Amino acid sequence: KQEVTQIPAALSVPEGENLVLNCSFTDSAIYNLQWFRQDPGKGLTSLLLIQSSQREQTSGRLNASLDKSSGRSTLYIAASQPGDSATYLCAPLNDYKLSFGAGTTVTVRA
């Protein structure tokens, strides 16, 4: 069974600082990995999809890296803004299922 751990559980930074969110997973036989954002009480918004054959994927201020063999992914958010405040979830896909960690809750202070 895939186990997903996200560190840190919570993060509070001043506006403008770069964010580094870590995700580790126990089963490296994944097809891909998605990063999502969740605002309080809302659904999930897909941020990035990184295929198992890729090492990196970028979208605007977001960059995700994947080291499949060591079971790790990192989400970088450059020049954080108060609007980036949310919970960020990583979800590796294997055995046709997405598995989720508990997420990292980010607060960006103005």
* Distance separating the N- and C-terminal Cα atoms of the chain: 40
Q: Residue 56, interface with another protein (CB under 8 A)?
A: no
**Nearer residue to another protein within complex by CB, 20 or 102:** 102
> Which one of 18-26, 32-40, 59-67, 76-84 is the stretch in contact with another protein (CB under 8 A)?
32-40
List 24, 32, 80, 85, residue binding another protein (CB under 8 A):
32
Q: Residue 80, interface with another protein (CB under 8 A)?
A: no
Q: Reduced to 3 DSSP states, what percent helix, strand and coil does the chain have, rounded to the nearest 5? A: 5, 60, 35
* Contacts of 104 by beta carbon, 8 Å cutoff, 6+ apart: 6, 7, 8, 9, 10, 11, 21, 22, 87, 88
Q: Residue 101, interface with another protein (CB under 8 A)?
A: yes
Instruction: Round to whole Å and give the CA distance between 99 and 102.
Output: 10
Contact footprint for another protein (CB under 8 A): 4, 31-32, 34, 36, 41-46, 49, 51-52, 89, 91, 93, 95-103
